[in-house]
Structure 1
């Protein structure tokens, strides 16, 4: 199994990982691995040790062989199975490495801006102003995009317009000015063209 260290798993890698856990979730296969860890054995020997029928043992061995954990060689008329302990160690390191376990959960395709807007804007209103500056800036950029750059506003007009987005219109007005999205002179507000909020 190739190393899985990446941001997210492909469908093929995920199925490979799922197969690994399915193989190791079986008690008989775990006991079979234990016996092979003590030395190479034939199907007949493993069947006696596990108290299983030979076809059942052959099925378990095929599952382990599919993962590359078991190899087989011919000795006369018998087939002797060998546990590749090094392969087991490599697979375990790949699978249980923290980045690979984290990759089991696919990352959202949403951008930071989309995540913030989905969380903090409902029906066109800012439901709450977040404390984190990065999120606050995303909301401010979104709000600034709603402002007509050709319009000039009195403070009262601009406050009334902002109130439709959040009741704390005074904070929004001040924050837009302080961050350069709006300019103010003689009580008149306008969006600054040099601070285009399009991102």
Structure 2
């Protein structure tokens, strides 16, 4: 489905009308397809923390804090694919894939979420800066900032920004867009797990 003409018009109407149009598109036709994300497979190299790591849910702006797939028709404009949605809120979904990626590496003592019964040594605090399709360039981009905090001292042991892009086929569809975003996230998570918070710092 080529969404661009409707989405460009919708983005100019503002976020409230945009949401209404997106809901109307879903109600008027078939329900949007639901897509999941994946984590790097077992065997991904990981730097060792030598302790327990707690992964907080990534912080995200309102446009990314939901199930809709974000598209930018032009600079400064935001729209959503009407025929696709994520299987959960995006920050929660990304958090689960970060944890899964570390678990698949099998090189940490343990990894979990805040509230899990872990003796916390380090916390991974992150922000989801981008998780979107750029319609002008045909690129899917994921950008994540990561900070490893020593739970005992409260100090940031290391920090880094990770990003990756994948091409999206034309016309832009839900399946094509989410597959490209999933591929970009996989690269970001591979880099994150391999980094591990810096060598010697944790």
TM-score computed with the length of structure 2 as normaliser: 0.20
TM-score computed with the length of structure 1 as normaliser: 0.20
Q: Which has the higher helix share?
A: 1
> Bigger relative contact order, structure 1 or 2, given CA contacts below 8 A and separation 6+?
2
Bigger radius of gyration, 1 or 2?
A: 1
